Amino acid sequence: MLLNLSKILSTPSAKEDFSISLELTSVRFMGNEYPVKDKQDVIIHAENIGKNKVDVKGSTILTLNLTCDRCLEDVPWECKIEFEKEYDKSDANDEWNQESFIEGNNLDVDGLIYEELIQKIPMKVLCSEECKGICPVCGVNRNKEQCDCDQSVPDPRMAAIQDIFNKFKEV
């Protein structure tokens, strides 16, 4: 949702609290799309801190459904987001000096939260440290089912690690 900052911008020492609901339903990141499982309204405090200057502080908590790197099951991931931004408009040409997520006199809260969120998504996601992953032969989730496949067939990722390990030994 957009938050209109006009009133705070034009009123000396004005301050106001807002509760902004997010429209965000999923997050695209590194070629994946993660659904938003749970979200809270963004609590925002905006304050006039000088002529045409506004300070915006906000926080929220979101839960995304990430995917386990080994077994590909959903992994709920809760993320707390806190931000503080200062926006100011120059007198000369009535333009924002800091334009990110500003449209007209509105702050694009969804855009801002999205940007903060993708910086926090972990690169490595596991449902648990002990996750047994997917059988490389038959594809069952080995946390849930046992199969009779020949487990000596190496997982290609494990094989890559083994290669690196062997190289170290040769040095």
Tell whether residue 153 is a contact of Zn ion (CB under 5 A).
Answer: no
Tell whether residue 142 is a contact of Zn ion (CB under 5 A).
Answer: no
The stretch near Zn ion (CB under 5 A) out of 22-30, 50-58, 132-140, 159-167 is 132-140
Contact 81, 113 (CB under 8 A): yes
Is the CA virtual torsion 148, 152, 157, 158 positive or negative? positive
- Please give the Cα distance from 160 to 105 (Å, whole number): 53
Residues 96-125 that bind Zn ion (CB under 5 A): none
- Please give the Cα distance from 4 to 15 (Å, whole number): 13
- Please give the Cα distance from 157 to 160 (Å, whole number): 5
Nearer to Zn ion, 104 or 154 (CB): 154
Q: Minimum CB separation from Zn ion for residue 128, in Å?
A: 7
Which residues does 161 contact at the CB level (< 8 Å), separation at least 6? none
Per CB under 5 A, the list member of 20, 66, 107, 127 interacting with Zn ion is 127
Per CB under 5 A, the list member of 8, 42, 44, 71 interacting with Zn ion is 71
Residues 34-53 that bind Zn ion (CB under 5 A): none
- Identify which of 119, 132, 162 has the alpha carbon closest to the alpha carbon of residue 69: 132
Tell whether residue 137 is a contact of Zn ion (CB under 5 A).
Answer: yes
Point out which residues bind Zn ion (CB under 5 A): 68, 70-71, 127, 131, 135, 137-138, 147, 149
